Structures are given as C-alpha cells and as structure tokens.
C-alpha cells in the first residue's frame, strides 16, 4: 500500500484498482524508445499509437505518473505475479512487482540480471522529490532494499548503459535440488 496525496504526482505501478480511477486527474507513461511521455488517461491517441506499439513490452512492466484529485492509499492487483522487465538503454520507469520480490527473497538481492545500472532513483510521494538509491559504486547493493513484499508497486527510475534484462543471472542462480 502506497500513500498518494491529493494534488501531487505519484510514480507507481500502472494498474491501480478500479476504486481509484475516478480520483485520477492525469496519467502519463514514459516511452524509452522515442524518449517521450504520452498521456494515457483516456487511452492513447492515434498520433501516439506507433510509439506505444514500439514500447509494448516495456509498458507491461513500467511505472506511470499519476495525479490524484484526493488523498488515496494505493493498492494493486497483479494477476500473474508480473514479468521481469526488459530495460532499454537510458532511463526506464519500472514498478516493483511480486516476481521481483520473490526472486529477491531467493538470493537476498535485487534481480539485476545482465543490467549495468548507472543511476537509480525512487520518487518520494510524501516529500515530492527524487531520492537517490545509492552512490554509483554501490547502486546494485542499495537496490537490495527492494526485497520485501511491501515494496510491490513502488516506482523506480533506472538508468542503464545498454538494453538489458532484469532477472537472475548465472552467478546468482541457485542450483535446482
């Protein structure tokens, strides 16, 4: 559950429950291929359809920017546990999903896969500011705080050097029984 104050932006998972929909005044998603934001509150317009299709796989695991008309506590329903995000070179807005926290609990580490994460930030809904997640030389260790189930739905901004896949890589995988 994540707090979201009236009259403020919230970066979080892109599918709030229906009870919150009438309180959303604006909703934008970021498209890394094309490096732009698009308005998604009433669906995507014709002009943005090609960009949305190009970013389709990214949008399955991305976070979105919401602007609420009243105070809410966000909760999310994830039907299939989510998928591991594929990140594009540059900035990516993702949402922590149950699959990520499950993998985190197995290895007690953020499932960075083959990604080299150059910068990481979390949006603080209360203070209305970006919080840096670790220094350049310790980002991967600092991301390990996102191993708890309570972090599901938290939006993160990750900058990667090249396109990559989050998940477990060979060195972190546990051998099957």
The answer to whether the CB of 117 falls within 8 A of the CB of 89 is no
Model pTM?
0.72
Closest CA to 34 of 47, 20, 17: 47
pLDDT at 37: 92
pLDDT in tens, 119-142: 999 887 777 788 888 775 566 667
pLDDT in tens, 67-124: 877 776 665 555 555 567 889 999 998 877 777 777 666 666 778 889 988 999 988 7
Task: State the first-to-last Cα distance of the chain, in angstroms, to the nearest integer.
Answer: 35
pLDDT at 82: 59
**SS3 at position 41:** strand
């Amino acid at each position: 559950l994540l707090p979201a104050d009236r009259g403020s932006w919230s970066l979080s998972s892109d599918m709030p429950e229906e009870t919150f929909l009438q309180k959303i005044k604006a909703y934008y998603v970021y498209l890394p291929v094309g490096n732009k934001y698009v308005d998604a509150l009433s669906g995507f317009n014709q002009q943005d359809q090609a960009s949305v299709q190009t970013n389709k796989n990214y949008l399955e695991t991305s976070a979105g920017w919401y602007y609420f008309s009243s105070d809410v506590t966000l909760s999310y329903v994830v039907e299939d546990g989510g998928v591991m995000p594929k990140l594009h070179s540059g900035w990516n807005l993702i949402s922590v999903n149950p699959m990520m926290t499950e993998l985190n609990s197995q290895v007690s580490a953020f499932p960075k896969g083959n990604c080299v994460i150059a910068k990481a930030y979390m949006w603080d809904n209360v203070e209305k500011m970006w919080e840096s997640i670790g220094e350049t030389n310790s980002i991967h260790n600092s991301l390990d705080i996102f191993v708890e189930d309570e972090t599901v739905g938290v939006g993160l901004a990750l900058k990667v050097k090249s396109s990559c896949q989050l998940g477990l890589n060979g060195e972190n995988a546990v051998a099957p029984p």
